[in-house]
Amino acid sequence: MEPRLGGPVSGENIPPVDYLSWYIPRLQENRPYDLSQSGFAYDWDVDIDTMEMLKFWKKGEQPADWVAERYGVESEQVCVTHGACQAISLAILAALPSNKPRAVGVEMPSFAVVSQCARLLGCEVIPFHRGPNEGEWKLNRSEVSEILPRVGVIVLTPVMNPTGEMISEDDQNWLIEATQSAGVNIVSDEVYLDSTKGTDFYRPMFEMSNNSISINSLTKTYGLGPLRFGWLIGPQSMIQNARNAFQNMQGLTSAPSMSIAGSIFPRLDEALDAMWDTRRENLPKLVELVKSHGIDWNPPPFGIFGAFSIGVDAVQAMAEYGKPLGLLATPGGMFHSELRNHLRICWGSDPQEFENALPILSKFLTSIQEGNH
């Protein structure tokens, strides 16, 4: 169920996103103990008149200005989109040089949409790796060097899904220098990066290089997934490319989404503060539980999710032991086959709901360990 890599696809050759094909039906089961979330759960208090939302574009506001002000860039460096998935496609289109191969290097492990968007756009996808291994998650520089002459764009996710691990500063700087020398652009999926704001891990690509587009959204860190509000930040020339592509495919963004986003944009730091509070309350309990089952795991120093090995295929374990317990968590094999024994756990939910789920997770791990003896 890991991402399907390869050449361009169309028509009957378009593959499903196997992770979502697996996950969405199970999410709709409403299992009572859900540790599968990929984003922070924050209860925004927003009250907007429905008809007023529909009039957003008559008010003269420009959502790109909100993003520009928050991230200290010019509005011309911002393109607003309907969520991060659309932003990935627009960024790849905007960043592909006309004189380079229509091929994209995609970091693995990764979320399937990252690679499959490129294939839907008529690109070949060539993988490179950061890990996976049991130690530090290091970039495979020899792989990157090998594929650079064959691609026009490199796509990576600095805060990796499903591990929550941030790319090292050395690897990030090396990648920037290597791509710049090769005339290759970078698309950086930074939907989790704002969870590092205020720390040394906060290193957005748009601040570090002139050949990068950074993608972000209100979905993962800010708890507004249903809103579908995303954006790209990068050099003005590439962002204009993205705007041209957006207008061709979309025209205008949704007025209701823009109205709701505008009401909470000045308050985004509320969610970040709440995220750190939730982490401080929930994560120590998870660490203690995992340790009590003899699992060696060091969680990432920020964020709301991580992954550890449970010693067996996590898809099978979730079917055999998780479903009867009403537990849902995400198998790591959805992101890379070598992580099939890993389970991604999110600790960004309501503290009481999280605490209620922990004894069930413990029963799940006990069932696996007893079944292996």
Is the bond preceding residue 158 a cis peptide, omega within 30 degrees?
no
Burial of 28 (0-12, 13-18, 19+ CB in 10 A): exposed
What CATH number belongs to 50-268?
Answer: 3.40.640.10
Which pLDDT value is given to residue 135? 62
Which pLDDT value is given to residue 372? 67
Distances (CA, A) of 123 to 114, 151, 179: 12, 9, 18
Domain boundaries, the chain: 11-41+269-371, 50-268
**Residues 244 and 264: beta-carbon distance below 8 Å:** no
Which pLDDT value is given to residue 51? 82
CATH topology of domain 11-41+269-371: Aspartate Aminotransferase, domain 1 (3.90.1150)
Which pLDDT value is given to residue 251? 87
Which pLDDT value is given to residue 225? 78
Distance CA 334, CA 346 (A): 15
Could you report the per-residue pLDDT of 351-366, keeping only the tens digit for each?
999 999 999 999 999 9
Hey, what are 312's tokens?
């067996």
124 forms beta bridges with: 103
Helix locations, 165-218, DSSP H: 169-182, 205-208
Hey, what are 292's tokens?
């009590």
Distances (CA, A) of 294 to 258, 291, 311: 48, 5, 11
Hey, what are 309's tokens?
């090995």
Could you report the per-residue pLDDT of 120-178, keeping only the tens digit for each?
999 999 999 998 865 679 999 999 999 999 999 999 999 999 999 999 999 999 999 99
Which pLDDT value is given to residue 318? 97
Could you report the per-residue pLDDT of 81-102, keeping only the tens digit for each?
999 999 999 999 999 999 999 9
Instruction: Show the low-confidence residues of the chain (pLDDT under 50).
Output: none
Query: Quick count: other Cβ atoms within 10 Å of Cβ 205?
Result: 25
Which pLDDT value is given to residue 49? 80
Query: Which residues, 6+ apart, have CB-to-CB distance to 133 below 8 Å?
Result: none
